[in-house]
Structure 1
Amino acid sequence: MTNQQLEQIKMIRNEITRFMMKYKFALDEIETKVEILKEEFQALHDYSPIEHTKTRLKSPESIMKKLIRKGGNISLTSIEENIKDIAGMRITCSFISDIYKISDMLQNQSDLTVLNVKDYIQNPKPNGYQSLHLLVEVPVFFSDRLEKVCVEVQIRTIAMDFWASLEHKIFYKYNKDVPERLLKELKLAADSANALDRQMERLNHEVQAIKDAETEDVLEELRSITINNQKFSLPPALLEVLGRD
């Protein structure tokens, strides 16, 4: 192999690296946003709707396979136009209502552009899959330019995530038609997960109503704040002065 050929391969490699890095940076940006929302909600409401998050970048091999399936031209421009889930974030919540709270908070971010929303909770897939998908454009600031990069955000409950993860494991790399009996059982399992979600949501509302009725305990909680896991008592004089405004 000649030096010229080596240099050409190096240039192509660097171009692909830059292309993939912008999706990595977009994930970094949205991870920071979600972490801020999580900490803010925890501080103000003594509760976080976000259980945990997970991010992933599609491998170049996976990107190419999907591009070929979609019939796109083999180029970085074609990849960007045709493959919208190169960068992905999954947000797992406790309750169904939390999903929509997080969705609203993200959609209210002025520098995020929501390109598409797919609500598979209100309209589950035939196999029973449930989740809320947001396709957002994230601004990424480089030293010499600004790029808006697509990130797919999936928001689901713990029960939904459990079902989806096991469904994926069961059928991963299974290329044959799945027997109808198994499809029906998976759909029943998805319905059971949804029923559990609805029941836990109801129980949570009932417990919250009981807590809200205990005014003395609520008043005691309001006399302190917690920042970064450190609890601070609020001076009565400060509460009195601010209460006059």
Structure 2
Amino acid sequence: MSPQDQIAQFKQLKHTITRFMMVYKFALDEMETKIEILKEEFHLLHDYNPIEHTKSRLKSPESIMNKLFRKNLEVSLPSIKNNIRDIAGLRITCSFISDIYKICDMLTRQSDLTILEIKDYIKNPKPNGYQSLHMLIEVPVFMSDRVEKVCIEVQIRTIAMDFWASLEHKIFYKYNEAVPERLLQELKSAAESATALDRQMERLHVEMGEIKENQVLDAEEELRRFRIDNQQFNIPSALLELIEAEPNSDK
């Protein structure tokens, strides 16, 4: 094979890999847009934001190949697509445990998404204490010449769960996964402490919500106001009367 043919072959291979990987990037873009819309909608309607922050990542080709080799899978793009389901990953960090299930429900109700699998490591923590809710979601990506159905992994966890998982990963990385038994026990104890903190904060959150609901000062005036993008609007009495007069206005 001539040098020119080798260069042409390399360019074609690079093009194929780039095209393969970019659909996963586009799937993440779509999911992040959905999350932003849900977050803003929830904030506007409930004056509360259940999502603290999100973080997305794409596995590197090297990591994908290593996983193929570990699982003794065929080295091909179809094999990668069918067997490596966490090439695209999205992590959603919430304030409270109840928020995790709210977000899961909101994503499940999205008609264009297909929920492939849900693993609840909150109700059933891993032996090391790890807790999180994992979802495998199939996202349609509309390309110029086709529709690609792309699987991404969504992890939803609280701030405390995320803090614990991040430090646990660093410790395992430092010890090359050969962590002494004593530290394993301390890590599990720390996970239990994080769980206790989550439950305490959840209880405080619920109690504060009940107190807020019981406050009736200026209730009528408050109902006449709504806010979008930090701009406050008042609902005119005439408009309220018009809406109330509409048949089936509550449907």
Question: How many equivalent residue pairs?
Answer: 245
Who is 1:137 aligned against? 138
Q: What's 1:106 paired with?
A: 107
From the superposition, tell whether residues 173 and 185 of structure 1 become closer, same or farther in structure 2 (CA, over 3 Å): closer
Cα distance in 1 for residues equivalent to 2:155 and 2:205: 23
Matches within 5 A, 1:61-72: 61-72=62-73
> What amino acid maps onto 2:201 in structure 1?
M
Corresponding residue number in structure 2 for 1:120: 121
Q: Percent identity?
A: 70
Paired with 1:131 and 1:242, the residues of 2 have a C-alpha distance of: 43
C-alpha deviation, 1:89, in angstroms: 0.3
1:26 aligns with 2:16: no
How far does residue 177 in structure 1 lie from its aligned partner after superposition? 2.3
Unmatched 5+ stretches in structure 1: none
TM-score, structure 2 as length reference = 0.95
Runs of 4+ in 1 over 2 A off after TM superposition: 173-177, 216-221
1:214 to 2:215 alignment: yes
1:217 to partner: Cα distance: 4.3
The code of the aligned residue for 1:109 comes to Q
Deviations for 1:131-178, whole angstroms, at most 9, x for unmatched residues?
000000000000110010001000000110111111111112633521
Secondary structure, in 3 states, of the residue corresponding to 1:175? Answer: coil
The alignment yields a C-alpha RMSD, in angstroms, of 1.2
**TM-score, normalization by structure 1:** 0.97
Q: Provide the rounded CA distance (Å) in 2 between the counterparts of 1:72 and 1:218.
A: 62
Shift of 1:218: 4.0
Query: Could you say if the C-alpha distance between residues 59 and 173 of structure 1 is closer, same or farther in structure 2, counting changes exceeding 3 Å?
Result: farther
Change (3 A) 1:124 1:45: same
Per-residue deviation, 1:228: 1.8
Secondary structure of 1:215 counterpart: coil
Alpha-carbon offset, residue 240 of structure 1: 2.5
> Within 5 A, what are the aligned runs for 1:135-174?
135-172=136-173, 174=175
Shift of 1:241: 2.2
Partner in structure 2 of residue 198 of structure 1? 199
Aligned AA (1:101): K
